[in-house]
Chain A
């Protein structure tokens, strides 16, 4: 096996939590508010259904093909050439998401904090530090997530607590004025973020305690749902639906709003800390999964030599990902919900159906004997 490190199921759960929330917590509330208005806090609940489904599909596939990642077992399920094609589609989505994350990070830092620094320098420095982490292997990524998780939750809760005195819960009334459709439409974006949990299929084979994988996966989806609901409610109580829809990064504006006794002010630095740490984990994971996936797709014996070349491609690709921030946001709002979920939930779901049928037709022992002969 290429990866020798092992992580615990809890580390996997903290990775899922951080990688889904990293970008979701800042960019999603504004876009959800456009569709769902006052009911934006309901959208994560609908979105989480896709998350639970994805985790379930991945854990079932993992049961059929333990010790293998989705890139490897897609070949076993679909045959050599269709399997390679499917693997390529997954890798394409991961690569595309990877460069979109780099760009997203660069744009926020460049517009909100480092206005005079070239985009390339901001993106390059993030990719470089992620390259060091990825080169150290999966264990390093998992442990970093464990270290960052308490800090992340603490800062997020702190911002919400400090905003309590400015909240007007009346903003959420009347509830479901236009029926269930608006919050369902608002769930279009959160659900595709939840569907990114399909990356656990690249982590499940490296779990120290694989029997807990499903439990912790589901738990982290639940935690993400609650966090997103809390964030959406905070922002809704603070700004109301109409204003929220016009803000690109509502949580950032909310943090700027904090002023307690003219002493606690300009706390957007905390949001920056949340953003940078979250994106750091998210990019490390996507980057790790990308190089590992490519190494497995090409049947290489190691992935470490691909880390730096792909770091270079990701940093440059950040510029390639979209002509402008508006263009990227349009893509993320209008197309990514279909594109991401199709590849990361629907395709694996179909693969699971094929795997189940194959197992029924060919008997139980075929898969086991193949599993022992794998290279």
Chain B
């Protein structure tokens, strides 16, 4: 089941790349690099969440930083 999901995620990523890649000009090197980076990040995030659903995210990070203030608005 997980393998199917990985194939599905990869399919979406390939579809996005096929759609977006031809629209970028040959001179837009930085744009291409940013596109590859963020698409890869998305793929990694999706696959990680598939295997570790409780992956700590930005919410846990912010909560750790603001922990002392958490109790003020407790009701």
- Chain A residues packing against B (C-beta within 8 Å): 34-35, 92, 95-96, 99-100, 185, 188, 294-295, 298-302, 304-306, 308-310, 312-313, 316-317, 319-323, 327-328, 331, 333-335, 337-339
Across the interface, name the chain A residue whose C-beta is closest to B55.
Answer: A320
Bound-complex Cα distance A153 to B31 (A):
40
Q: Which residues of B contact A312 (CB under 8 A)?
A: 12-13, 16, 39, 42, 46
Bound-complex Cα distance A321 to B46 (A):
13
Q: Are B58 and A99 in contact (CB under 8 A)?
A: yes
Q: Are B20 and A305 in contact (CB under 8 A)?
A: yes
Supposing A305-B31, A305-B34, A337-B73 touch, asked if A316 and B59 sit within 8 A by C-beta, the answer is: no
Say what secondary structure dominates the interface of chain B: helix
Bound-complex Cα distance A338 to B38 (A):
29
Contact of A313 among B42, B55, B65 (CB under 8 A): B42
Q: Which residues of A contact B69 (CB under 8 A)?
A: 334-335, 338
Bound-complex Cα distance A321 to B55 (A):
10
- Nearest chain B CB to A297's CB is how many angstroms away? 10
Q: Are B57 and A320 in contact (CB under 8 A)?
A: yes
- In this complex, how many residues of chain B approach chain A with their Cβ under 8 Å: the count is 37
Across the interface, name the chain A residue whose C-beta is closest to B28.
Answer: A301
List the 8 closest pairs (A to B, CB-CB), nearest first: A309-B38, A312-B42, A320-B57, A313-B42, A309-B39, A308-B16, A305-B35, A96-B58
Bound-complex Cα distance A338 to B70 (A):
9
What are 18 A-B contacts with C-beta separation under 8 Å? A96-B58, A99-B57, A301-B30, A305-B24, A305-B32, A305-B35, A309-B41, A310-B38, A312-B13, A312-B42, A312-B46, A316-B42, A317-B57, A320-B55, A334-B69, A335-B66, A339-B65, A339-B66
Q: Which residues of A contact B70 (CB under 8 A)?
A: 334-335
Bound-complex Cα distance A300 to B31 (A):
6
- Nearest chain B CB to A255's CB is how many angstroms away? 26
- Nearest chain B CB to A305's CB is how many angstroms away? 5
Bound-complex Cα distance A197 to B39 (A):
29
Q: Are B49 and A316 in contact (CB under 8 A)?
A: yes
Contact with A along B36-75 (1 / 0, CB 8 A): 0011011001100100011101110011011001111111
Supposing A302-B28, A333-B73 touch, asked if A313 and B41 sit within 8 A by C-beta, the answer is: yes
Bound-complex Cα distance A327 to B16 (A):
32
Q: Which residues of B contact A188 (CB under 8 A)?
A: 73
Q: Are B75 and A35 in contact (CB under 8 A)?
A: yes
Q: Are A298 and B30 in contact (CB under 8 A)?
A: yes
Q: Are B66 and A338 in contact (CB under 8 A)?
A: yes
- Nearest chain A CB to B26's CB is how many angstroms away? 13
Q: Are A96 and B28 in contact (CB under 8 A)?
A: no
